[in-house]
Amino acid sequence: MVILMGLAALASADDESASRGVLVLRPGVSIVDVAARYDLVPVGSIPSRDMHLVTFPIGMDGPTFEGLSIDPDIEDAEVEYDSGDPGPGGQSLFLAGTFADFVAQPVWSHLGIRGAQQSSTGLGVVVAIVDSGVDHTHPGLDGAVIPGGFDFVDGDTDPSEVANGIDENDSGVADEMYGHGTFAAGIVHLVAPDASILPVRVMDADGISTSFLVAQGIFHAIDAGAQVINVSMGTFGESQIISLAVEEAKEAGVLVVASSGNHGTTEPLFPATFSPVIATTALGFDDVRPGFAAYGEHIDVGAPGVDLVSLIPGDAYARTDGTSYAAPLVSGGAALVFSIAPESTSAFRLRLDATSIPVDAINPGDVGLLGSGRIMIDGLVSWWPICDADLNGDGEANIFDVVLYLSRFDASDDRADLNDDGAFDIFDVLEYVARLEACP
């Protein structure tokens, strides 16, 4: 067996010891000029977004670097967040599996996947896997992987998984993340067999990544035409550059799905906690939250994250646990929906809310902390509201929906933030009124 971190987590860099950071410049400002001004050394960039990775000069620490944001040429400055293990609960095991296990696993019936595939197979939808790479030669992916991916770790156009046999993060295990991205891609392909997989490598086989790499990956996925972006990793630091990437995805009509984390607490992990993202936690097949699965008020939905079977490099199959693999079930479900009903993030949330199976009663200690419950993919695909204001999905937009919306608004429920700006204000109410007036 191979030890695998169930979720790659970017640990917030120690501001006092940070040595690299990211500058977001105002349009038209030269990184060469700004770097010379502060004795910084550019080492990477996202030119189309005016974002630049730089190293600090001797004597500059993290807080000082972030203080550069007072410069009118600089829109934002933040230290680069490094990778790390979120805790013992973040570890799971890759156990041997087979193709027969893959096609017969209980998740098929538990989420109604076969029924959903009678209506949609995800044709025409591109799902980006922002992860450790994908083994595009695996026969289980059956030609689903498309060109256009990128490897931001090695800086080349081959986003395959790479193992070097070296324990580069001193975890005691070499290449513990090898297979992470391929496993996630296999789950998406299981749910949406005709969706296209776009691999974007931002993490190495030891789980080493940075906030800059993750942002690069999300921006690349947007530019490459992804409609769904799966991010089975996160950071405990509230990275502004990842937030900007997520916001741009939302504005482009791209759905971002992220794992909640395997640290087993309510501590928020980003990007899952950012409001436009579909934050996904793990549930057992009994709908009980496993102890490793992070939870909280920011969670949108749960999906099976225990004893899942999928693909790993080398034409092999394996089984494991983790919120990293619950998220691709949701991404696959989104691909099925978008194939037949392209819609906004807020509309997809409405669909999730109306069709998920509540699990609060089974998890009395987690009431209100597991989102709308367990995703039901067949219901997700078949549900058709009369309009966006039909919150309870009963085929009518009426006073019951108004009362439901106002109750969510009063409770500062994320589902009431209709413009996804993180605030609950009159603009959300006006948006709901507009949706109501647009109903037949």
Tell me the catalytic residues.
131, 180, 324
Beta strands in 265-328 (DSSP E): 278-283, 301-304, 308-312, 316-320
CB 52 within 8 A of CB 102: no
Inter-residue contact 34 to 27 (CB < 8 Å):
no
Of 197, 201, 229, 225, which Cα lies nearest the Cα of 213? 201
Task: Of 249, 271, 130, give the one whose Cα is nearest residue 199.
Answer: 130
- Least Cα distance to 355 among 300, 305, 400 occurs for 300
H or E element in which residue 104 lies: helix 99-104
131 strand-pairing partners = 201
Residues 6+ apart with CB under 8 A from 426: none
The alpha carbon dihedral of 86, 304, 336, 94 has a sign of: positive
- Residues 6 or more apart whose Cβ sits within 8 Å of residue 365: none
* Peptide linkage before 27 cis (omega within 30 of 0): no
Find residue 96's DSSP bridge partners. Answer: 318
Is 100 strand, coil or helix?
helix
Query: Quick one: tokens of 61?
Result: 């620490």
Is the dihedral angle over the CA atoms 430, 387, 418, 339 positive or is it negative? negative
Measured between alpha carbons, how far is 131 from 256 in angstroms, rounded to an integer? Answer: 13
Given a contact cutoff of 8 angstroms between Cβ atoms, the answer to whether 161 and 169 are in contact is no
d(CA 306, CA 324): 11
Q: CA 404: distance to chain centroid?
A: 28
In angstroms, how far is the first alpha carbon of the chain from the final one?
A: 57
Torsion sign over Cα 393, 344, 195, 9: negative
